[in-house]
Amino acid sequence: MSYVRKSVIVRARLLAPAVLLIGLAACSGKDETAAPAADAKPAAASPAATAPAAEPAVSSKVQAMGSEELRESASQALRDNRMYAPAGDNAIEYYLALRDKTPDDASVKSALTDLLPYTLIAAEQNMAREDFEEGQRLIALIEKVDPKAPALPRLKQGITRGVEVAALRTTEETERVKREAEAKTKQLAEQQKLAEQRTREAAAAQQIAAQQAAAAPAAAAPAPAAQDAERQAAARREAEQRQQQAAAQAAAAAAARQTAAPSLRPVSTPAPRYPADALRSNTSGEVLVEITVGTDGSVTNARVLRATPARTFDREALAAVKRWRFEPVAAPVTTRRTLAFSPGG
């Protein structure tokens, strides 16, 4: 038995629970690939609801490598637990290119068969976290390994449906922000109108008081106590006006901030690598990270806020989010994301 075959079998035994889950999914694939109901209507196509364009399953750099180099690279990728990622440097791509060069090599075919379940799990996980670009790449690898894989129709349909749902959610969120901004603007206009009305009333009251004071005889001038009361009333009115103006300005600033707050739209959010020790011990958990996205869409800062269990998945979570990319935004945005780790998918 070749060294490549031995390496794949060792990893298959370590990840037996995950393989069992994929086996169950494959068994149910017959039902999922059945023809749709007669009354189902095809969804209307729209520019936003389009699956990401598929890249070649095997990168041109890998295809250009020689047979021996491919074999050594595939073995090293297995030792490093790079079964299907990152793109252009993973075991399944090396074996696919090697299969093209040596189509009769049974050990290469066997290695691809062993790697297929893990790629299926990764495709499902990326679709669940709405990383459709990575999901499409993995589906292309699965299809190149086995064009008749039972799960392929379900995965392709899931990609299309997921993009449509994400696009719809983005549209709904945009409309919600727009409605809230309009409500804030309307409220601000009403507050400003009320403040202007009170200002006019105060000015009119002061003008009447001034006219009455000018018309009164000098002997009937108000007593000092009355003058003090009038000054105090005027001071109170002025203070109320300042408070109203400050409140109106604060409301305007809040509305402007909410209207201008950019929404993050992911371009690429690759999944974190599963730590080998955690995978062997069947350990699951999650990591809450805070990331800052720069104006070019890259992650400029990331830190762990909470991790369960502690220090098990922190490093891989940070390494993953630092590779994330979003569409460019007008100003840096700080947000939080939870990365889940589960050996069973």
- What integer pLDDT is reported at residue 252 of this predicted model? 58
- What integer pLDDT is reported at residue 24 of this predicted model? 30
Distance CA 104, CA 228 (A): 106
Distant-in-sequence, close-in-space partners of 131: CB < 8 Å, separation ≥ 6: 266, 268, 269, 270, 271
CA 29 centroid distance within chain: 28
Residue 74 near residue 111 (C-beta atoms within 8 A): yes
What pLDDT band is residue 245 in, cutting at 50, 70 and 90?
Answer: confident
130: left (phi over 0), alpha (psi -120 to 50) or beta: left
0.85 surpassed by pTM:
no
Domain ranges of the chain: 3-30+48-150, 184-253, 272-341
Kindly report, residue by residue over 11-33, the tens digit of the pLDDT.
Answer: 444 443 333 333 333 333 333 33
Torsion of CA 40, 46, 51, 56, to 10 degrees: 120
What pLDDT band is residue 209 in, cutting at 50, 70 and 90?
Answer: confident
- What integer pLDDT is reported at residue 149 of this predicted model? 94
Across the chain, what does the average pLDDT equal?
81
Residue 32 near residue 154 (C-beta atoms within 8 A): yes
The amino acid sitting at 256 is A
Q: Where are the beta strands (DSSP E) in 194-273?
A: 266-268
Residue 298 near residue 266 (C-beta atoms within 8 A): no
Kindly report, residue by residue over 146-173, the tens digit of the pLDDT.
Answer: 999 999 999 999 999 999 998 899 899 9
Q: Which residue has the higher pLDDT, 320 or 247?
A: 320
- What integer pLDDT is reported at residue 224 of this predicted model? 63
Q: Which residue has the higher pLDDT, 334 or 257?
A: 334
Choose the CATH number for 272-341 among 3.30.1200.10, 2.30.40.10, 3.40.449.10, 3.30.2420.10.
Answer: 3.30.2420.10
Q: Which residue has the higher pLDDT, 344 or 159?
A: 159
Start-end of H helices in 64-151: 67-79, 91-101, 106-128, 132-145
